Structure 1
């Protein structure tokens, strides 16, 4: 295993905040969307981290394979999901002879060195035609990032902010660059969408918003995906030659 990348992941996992505050609500809503497209019996989740999405995926009763680069997270996942196949591996070093009905990449592609390479690898693990891949990432065109640029808090929409750096993000996609990664990986996009209309920072939301407000703004993001806080793609691997 690439030791430098392994050390980076372990460092991030020590104080990970993906299950905290408003982040937890976004993961739960992301599952609601992903659930619409689930098929078959098998599911590969790439990068489950604290397992917020995994807890929800486990309710579908599908056969779970979990690939996680952090050894600390893997230990916790094995304890909490004893029926799942938990694999401690970097995505770049993982391989599988099994073809999966579903592949989930929740907040993964902004972390990796080469997102097109990861998607191309995932394409080979996805059942042709019938399988579905669901991926979600933060959106650089989100209202709160646009506001941050206007206020001088970010130099540009796709600049890494403080929380991006804490989470170990390497980039922030916009809708066009996100879709383009799938095209380059030769995956066919069936659905592009968004959720979580986010006008201000997580801290402001957690201090002042009610659960009802959170839910309403999650739904509003589906109406206006290009400026939503999160964007997603549902894709498949066409059974074609070459």
Structure 2
């Protein structure tokens, strides 16, 4: 049986959202950060997973101290080299389930596009654990893909998927284990003792990534702005929590 770290290394070989030519998720990361920036305290921050470091670099620019917990050695080596000019980042090669942090001094935990990669039991354990790292008034920032996003709704009406919570081919490629909606995410967070202080939808995505990549930036940004009016139809759900 493959170990979790080996699976992560295989995903790291395939998934590269470091440019808009590589993957449409490049744009989603930009918009996720725009939402996050309004609520980020930014003093001592833990980023749960760095991927190719697109969000990591943005965080490093605005945070005093950044701790990155990443399960793929390939990703860590890539991002370390890419961001070697930043002195405020520390990297830890660890699965989230295994990472130990003994202090209670974190201002923000940024957990973007991560929960969908782990089982329900592991997600609840991790959420309950990381709660103990936050200082008073500290914040947990969560982003997950939305089961009820416009492109999933369209795929369901077309008969491509049997249910909006069903795994798409992309979900399988990226190793997703669950497809969240707002209700299931809120329920999980409240069960682990979090207070939800803000949520919003990010980006109205009408088409699959491969087709969205054919659009120019003005159209893409137009869909981002319209998404603010239709949060339950957006591609991502962003939630800010306190304890």
Q: TM-score, normalised by structure 1?
A: 0.92
On the 8 A contact 1:17/1:167 being kept in 2, the answer is no
Q: 1:138: how far off?
A: 0.5
Secondary structure, counterpart of 2:3 in structure 1: helix
On the 8 A contact 1:143/1:229 being kept in 2, the answer is yes
* Partner in structure 1 of residue 134 of structure 2: 126
Q: 1:224: how far off?
A: 1.4
CA distance in 2, matches of 1:17, 1:150: 30
Which of 73, 97, 102 aligns to 1:97? It is 102
* Partner in structure 2 of residue 71 of structure 1: 73
Root mean square deviation, CA, Å: 1.5
On the 8 A contact 2:45/2:63 being kept in 1, the answer is no
Q: 1:3: how far off?
A: 6.8
Which of 190, 202, 210 aligns to 1:195? It is 202
* Partner in structure 1 of residue 151 of structure 2: 144
Secondary structure, counterpart of 1:44 in structure 2: strand
* Partner in structure 2 of residue 9 of structure 1: 8
Q: 1:185: how far off?
A: 1.1
Q: Say whether residues 1:211 and 2:208 are aligned partners.
A: no
Q: TM-score, normalised by structure 2?
A: 0.92
Which of 218, 228, 235 aligns to 1:222? It is 228
CA distance in 2, matches of 1:201, 1:4: 30
- Unaligned 5+ runs, structure 1: 238-242
Q: 1:80: how far off?
A: 2.8
- Unaligned 5+ runs, structure 2: none
On the 8 A contact 2:49/2:71 being kept in 1, the answer is yes
Q: 1:211: how far off?
A: 0.2
Deviations 1:114-133 (A, max 9, x none): 222221111111112x2111
Q: Tell me the number of residue pairs that the alignment of Structure 1 and Structure 2 aligns.
A: 234
Secondary structure, counterpart of 1:104 in structure 2: strand
